[in-house]
Amino acid sequence: MWAWGLAGMAAAAAYAAVFERLRFGPPLVMLALGGMTLAFTAGALWRMIDPLARASWTGAAAAGGGGTRWTRELEREKQLVLKAIKEIEFDYQMRKIAEPDYRDMVERYRTRAMRLISELDAGSDYRALIERELKMRLDLPLPVEPSAATAAPAAAGAPVAAHTCASCQSPNDNDAQFCKKCGSKLG
């Protein structure tokens, strides 16, 4: 960048000395400084426009024009997720978030961050990434729903658990003292 400035200053000084026939003095110095300023401005403009122009050419050449754009968006989302993890950890240290909530949120964000990192590592090989994620999802166990046999004893007059209301038979939390549906005291 300094080379650009010195070249601009030399060009302006040479123009002033040769074509305008100025001797060394304030006008020649001002023209030389003006040339240096123009050269610095041109250099700054070049440094600002060059990456934009280069990214558009590489984006058009890679993966049908959207390859680098997709990668940039994934990279941006990864940075946002990592920032969110830091903020959650800070809030937890400041005692603004309860530990169970903290663990749940951090686990979800870390899972998302790992997925984004694997997508970035996969690059344009999306097929392998999709197959790996599909295999992982198929290997997960299915959630078990309570059957009618386990719910029947409570309805048939069997002893009622402490978290079920005796009046309306609605389920409540284990530590509840009053029913959340009818408001009667739980025994």
Cβ atoms of 161 and 151 closer than 8 Å:
no
Average pLDDT over residues 55-79: 64
Is the pLDDT assigned to residue 160 strictly greater than 50?
A: no
- What's the confidence (pLDDT) of residue 108? 94
pLDDT digits (tens, 9 = 90+) for 8-17: 778 877 877 7
Residue 29 confidence (pLDDT) above 70: yes
The 10s digit of each residue's pLDDT in 87-139 is 999 999 999 999 999 999 999 999 999 888 887 877 766 677 677 778 888 88
pLDDT over threshold 50, residue 143? yes
Q: Which residues of 72-87 are buried (b: 16+ CB within 10 A; e: fewer)?
A: eeeeeebeebbebbee
Question: Is-contact 14 24, C-beta < 8 A?
Answer: no
Within a 10 A sphere around the Cβ of 67, how many other Cβ atoms? 16
